[in-house]
Structure 1
Amino acid sequence: MKKVAMLVVLAGLCAVAEAKPPLFVERPGALEFSGQLIVRPRQDLNTEGAARARERLTGMVKNYYPEVDEYTIFVPNADRRARGTGENDLAAELMATGDYQYVHPNWICYPLNTPNDPYFPSMWHHANMQSELAWNVTTGSSSILVAMTDTGVDYNHVELQNRVPGYNSASNMAETDGGQIYDIHGHGTHVAGCAAATGNNNTGVAGVGWNLKFMMCRVTDSSGGGAYFEDLTEAARWAVEHGSRTASTSYTGVEYETISTTGDYIDSIGGVYLYAADNSSRDHYYFDWPNVIVVGATDWTDNRAWFSSYGLACDVFAPGDGIWSSTVGNTYAAWSGTSMATPVANGVLGIIWSVNPALTHHEARDIMFNSCDDIGAPGEDNVYGHGRVNLYKAVQAALATLCPADFNGDGFVNGDDYDAFAEVFDVANPAADFNNDGFVNGDDYDLFAEHFDVGC
């Protein structure tokens, strides 16, 4: 936000002959102008200032979202000006007043799948995440609900029957009231399967959590998949307000502050918001949303997938290259993208809660972070974040919250647990950070021994 404010100030102070670059530049097929802006007043304004900020928008307001204090406004005459000029001019004018936290386009965003390689080994990602070992403990609980905000879902697909009614944010209508949820593009059906396709049914594929309940919130009525920014974030808030523990979005636009605002709101009501890092292979070094889990994609060699963005903003990576999942019409395909990685991480959270439903959203999030495989520089880094999610390690960590001494999660406290702990302790594996202080040392060994002596 400081960068934008500085550009506005310099624009007022410097008289130059050259045209100044626009604040916002569209990327066709990724982020496109809509003739609308998303506006949030500064949250520290006094009563007079807040009224002034609202009054300045009179006659332009399309929607207001009180839960996050955001306005969507129409840009006057935007369709009669050079593309993007109206959005940039009005955004600069509003920011120059000092009354707004941010102003940016209500971008038309697009799903984040890329062309896939059909020759990748089928479902390699479960081997990398040790899913089979995790599924020996749980395949997901039907009492745990996770949500995806996307292009809809083929609700007739044999793999996607563990569904609860959702919402259409493009028409502002719940499915139970007639809101259309069927997938009009195809992306959403694949995304849903990555998280929650039914397993062990002698057909097709297996999602991360076979038995998790999932909700689909459709964000677009366009067959091309394009969705207004405001519909993406409103759908995520609706999902958590209506019982989902999570909401994940596999679209462009992660770098804009409205995502952080929605993340803060979802966090405040006890949910977790996940968002795809995007497929532009960019270094997201310039932002870091505290209450949004930004997910990058790995390939089958456990390296960053060639298309995946990375950097400070990314919290975790998950498999996202050549991922087999459900597609419209009871079919299957391997797709690639951070679009696939994000619901995989969403499913990991669902499995963590399946082991211990009493965990808070922060506890579940931290278990996922701390159980990641460290695939970059040692420890948390500014490329891979906490690392690549590991479903089995996450299950082990969740089990430890029920009975800390049952380190291997087999339901018994015995010498096998001591051996398993000693094995990771000897190599300073983060899994041995028993007291969660960020270090593996004698304090962890002593605490584990104390729990072991007590048992469960």
Structure 2
Amino acid sequence: MIPAGAHAEQPEKFAAGRILVSPRAGLPAAEFNKIIKTHGAHAARKLGGINVYVVDMPPGREKALLQALERNPHVKFVELDGEVTMQMTPSDTYYSTAWHLPKIGAPAAWDVATGSGVTIAILDGGVEASHPDLAGHMVPGWNFFDNNSNTADVNGHGTKVAGVAAAIGNNAVGATGAAWNAKIMPMRISDGAGNITYYSTVANALTWAADHGARVANISYIVSHVAAVQTAAQYMRSKGGVVVASAGNTGAYTANANTSAIITVAGTDSSDVRASWSAYGPIVDVAAPGVSIRTTAVGGAYGSYSGTSFSSPLTAGVVALMLSANPALQPSQVDSILASTADDKGTAGRDDYYGYGRINATRAIAAAKAAVTSDTSVPVVSATVPSATVKGITTVSATATDNVGVTRVELYAGSTLVASDTASPYSFSWDSTTRADGATSLVVKAYDAAGNVGSKTLSVTVANNTIADTTAPVVTIGNPKAGTTVAGNVGVTVSASDNVAVTSTSLYIDGSLKATGNSSLSYTWNSRKGPKGLHTISAVARDGAGNTKTQAVQVTVN
């Protein structure tokens, strides 16, 4: 997961004039708007169901605003709204035998479950709803790129993906999906050509699918490393759903960290060897067949296709079989069963090429059927605040673990609910001015899917009005010194202190905001981008009472 106050590895291509920001749960909307308006931006809209905002600003300011917000203590994560392209390789010669299904043991799994009662959301370029091997099992979806109900397939990819997951079986027609009795929810997330989507579009589609009954979602794009998508996937998991995504077809190692929110799938061939085009690395959870996969195609046709775009929906289909066999399974149980029942490949144990191994539907469904789903264990909770005496808006950080899985964590001030957070790491911003001065109990509660509740109580003292704070912070620009001559890349350092606490420090060059931080910050100024001559560097420190202090130095750029 993305740590508090940080952002994920940023994409090369991204939407102009917007970024994605997740404030800590509980931060008042007015305070959030104040933070971003300070930097010339505004919150355009909140993504459905999750605490992530699409924030607009003038094009060209995206990276500067990201840098300014990533050090703010009340921001959980911030990232560019990255552009994602489809993961698909050219079609192989038509392959009439669906080798991938017996390879993973699907026929024996179908003796136990066929996907009945489970809906799979296909987040892609749309699905051909009239295809004879799909039409009988379609349910309404949504077009998130154009914001309408037209989910027709724009380039054929989504129809192929849907068929791998859930083409109707036992009907003497065409192909067979892994979960051939499951329902298909078409979710168009791509542009009109079916090639490009954005992080915000994927996250929006995930929360919509979760709210409309999908238990499984497939994303044949490289998105497992994206904080906003992870947050949306956690939201779906809080409702009992599971998200599966492609590792990608780069053929290269990716250092992105693994996430518990999404099952990420690499591709294998008929010899159970990693396909040369399959990406690999810590992000991979399992592997699945992805070479010459027979499936549905637009125009009521069929064909064989290759890529992790098809390894992913094959795994999503197996997950649907597991949930069909045992609807009470929790997402964390799906994760552990899928991993423990996989056929170990490559290096013994988990490795970066195959994850925990190539999926095995027979063993996964048997284990799912036998899994005990009664749960009486309460989550274990811990929580911290920066200080036992608080004023203004303070942060509260929490951790919660459970034998099955935590669905949400809530913060209470006394008996009043402050906010709820569904995505780890759990963090809150609490406005202490809503309580009278004096002793207050902060209670953090963690819930699991069975309704068990664990809690942790913190005792704090609210001191907003007891002593008026009229002392301004002290702020110092350590480098460069006033009156010096500089050139090239210049390291600017700022430090600040206060009798109570510094809440923010801002750095300006010639009146333009360059960076923000807490009691200290550093910034690399490329002086070559501006004119030669005299320039002013200024730093402003603020405390919780609104006192400010500014220091400025002038330097000459040679």
* Shared fold (TM-score, shorter chain, > 0.5): yes
Give the secondary-structure state (helix, strand or coil) at the position aligned to 2:345. coil
2:35 is matched with: 53
Give the secondary-structure state (helix, strand or coil) at the position aligned to 1:165. coil
1:93 is matched with: 68
Against the structure 1 CA distance between its residues 34 and 387, is the aligned structure 2 distance closer, same or farther, given a 3 Å change threshold? farther
Indicate the structure (1 or 2) with the bigger Cα radius of gyration. Answer: 2
2:288 is matched with: 318
Against the structure 1 CA distance between its residues 32 and 306, is the aligned structure 2 distance closer, same or farther, given a 3 Å change threshold? farther
Note the C-alpha offset of 1:401: 3.5
- In the alignment, the residues of structure 1 paired with residue 169 and residue 239 of structure 2 have an alpha-carbon distance, to the nearest angstrom, of 31
- In the alignment, the residues of structure 2 paired with residue 189 and residue 46 of structure 1 have an alpha-carbon distance, to the nearest angstrom, of 43
**Superposed CA offset, 1:143-179 (max 9, x none):** 2212111111000101102111111222334xxxxx1
Matched, 1:297 2:267: yes
For the 8 Å contact 1:60–1:76, the answer to whether it is kept is: no
Matched, 1:399 2:369: yes
Against the structure 1 CA distance between its residues 326 and 121, is the aligned structure 2 distance closer, same or farther, given a 3 Å change threshold? closer
Note the C-alpha offset of 1:138: 3.1
Structure 2 unaligned regions, length at least 5: 374-403, 405-558
- In the alignment, the residues of structure 2 paired with residue 64 and residue 6 of structure 1 have an alpha-carbon distance, to the nearest angstrom, of 18
- Structure 2 counterpart of 1:67, from 44, 49, 67: 49
- TM-score normalised by structure 1 residue count: 0.74
Against the structure 1 CA distance between its residues 154 and 64, is the aligned structure 2 distance closer, same or farther, given a 3 Å change threshold? same
Note the C-alpha offset of 1:328: 0.8
Give the secondary-structure state (helix, strand or coil) at the position aligned to 1:354. helix
Q: Map of 1:139-218 to 2, 5 A cutoff?
A: 139-141=114-116, 143-161=117-135, 162-173=137-148, 179-218=149-188
Question: Which AA in structure 2 matches 1:155?
Answer: A
Question: Which AA in structure 2 matches 1:116?
Answer: S
2:442 is matched with: none
2:234 is matched with: 264
1:418 is matched with: none
Determine what percentage of the aligned residue pairs are the same residue: 33
Structure with bigger strand share is 2
Question: For this pair of structures, how many residues does the alignment match?
Answer: 372
1:367 is matched with: 337
2:244 is matched with: 274
Note the C-alpha offset of 1:385: 1.9
For the 8 Å contact 2:247–2:279, the answer to whether it is kept is: yes
- In the alignment, the residues of structure 2 paired with residue 131 and residue 245 of structure 1 have an alpha-carbon distance, to the nearest angstrom, of 20
- In the alignment, the residues of structure 1 paired with residue 29 and residue 16 of structure 2 have an alpha-carbon distance, to the nearest angstrom, of 31
- Structure 2 counterpart of 1:77, from 51, 59, 63: 59
- In the alignment, the residues of structure 1 paired with residue 173 and residue 41 of structure 2 have an alpha-carbon distance, to the nearest angstrom, of 55
Question: Which AA in structure 2 matches 1:350?
Answer: A
Note the C-alpha offset of 1:46: 8.3
Note the C-alpha offset of 1:48: 8.4
Matched, 1:131 2:106: yes
Matched, 1:114 2:89: yes
2:347 is matched with: 377
- In the alignment, the residues of structure 1 paired with residue 85 and residue 167 of structure 2 have an alpha-carbon distance, to the nearest angstrom, of 23
- In the alignment, the residues of structure 2 paired with residue 277 and residue 190 of structure 1 have an alpha-carbon distance, to the nearest angstrom, of 18
Structure with bigger helix share is 1
Against the structure 1 CA distance between its residues 381 and 43, is the aligned structure 2 distance closer, same or farther, given a 3 Å change threshold? farther
Question: Which AA in structure 1 matches 2:67?
Answer: A
Against the structure 1 CA distance between its residues 71 and 200, is the aligned structure 2 distance closer, same or farther, given a 3 Å change threshold? same
Which segment is superposed worse, 385-394 or 103-112? 103-112
Against the structure 1 CA distance between its residues 350 and 25, is the aligned structure 2 distance closer, same or farther, given a 3 Å change threshold? closer
RMSD over aligned CA atoms reads: 2.9
- In the alignment, the residues of structure 1 paired with residue 241 and residue 362 of structure 2 have an alpha-carbon distance, to the nearest angstrom, of 23
For the 8 Å contact 1:295–1:318, the answer to whether it is kept is: yes
Which segment is superposed worse, 271-280 or 64-73? 64-73
2:517 is matched with: none
Which segment is superposed worse, 182-191 or 86-95? 86-95
Question: Which AA in structure 1 matches 2:51?
Answer: D
Structure 1 unaligned regions, length at least 5: 8-22, 79-85, 174-178, 404-435, 437-456
1:285 is matched with: 255
Against the structure 1 CA distance between its residues 156 and 52, is the aligned structure 2 distance closer, same or farther, given a 3 Å change threshold? same
Matched, 1:343 2:319: no
Give the secondary-structure state (helix, strand or coil) at the position aligned to 2:139. strand
Question: Which AA in structure 1 matches 2:89?
Answer: T
1:441 is matched with: none
Which segment is superposed worse, 34-43 or 322-331? 34-43
- In the alignment, the residues of structure 1 paired with residue 371 and residue 49 of structure 2 have an alpha-carbon distance, to the nearest angstrom, of 33
Q: Map of 1:217-236 to 2, 5 A cutoff?
A: 217-236=187-206
Which segment is superposed worse, 155-164 or 290-299? 290-299
Note the C-alpha offset of 1:24: 4.1
- In the alignment, the residues of structure 1 paired with residue 112 and residue 339 of structure 2 have an alpha-carbon distance, to the nearest angstrom, of 20
- In the alignment, the residues of structure 1 paired with residue 204 and residue 82 of structure 2 have an alpha-carbon distance, to the nearest angstrom, of 14
Give the secondary-structure state (helix, strand or coil) at the position aligned to 1:281. coil
1:39 is matched with: 21
Question: Which AA in structure 2 matches 1:301?
Answer: S
Give the secondary-structure state (helix, strand or coil) at the position aligned to 1:153. coil
1:11 is matched with: none
Note the C-alpha offset of 1:384: 2.0
For the 8 Å contact 1:34–1:105, the answer to whether it is kept is: no
Note the C-alpha offset of 1:56: 4.0
Which segment is superposed worse, 371-380 or 280-289? 280-289
**Superposed CA offset, 1:116-162 (max 9, x none):** 32165732211210222222333331x22121111110001011021
Note the C-alpha offset of 1:351: 0.8
- TM-score normalised by structure 2 residue count: 0.61
Question: Which AA in structure 1 matches 2:311?
Answer: A
Give the secondary-structure state (helix, strand or coil) at the position aligned to 1:294. strand
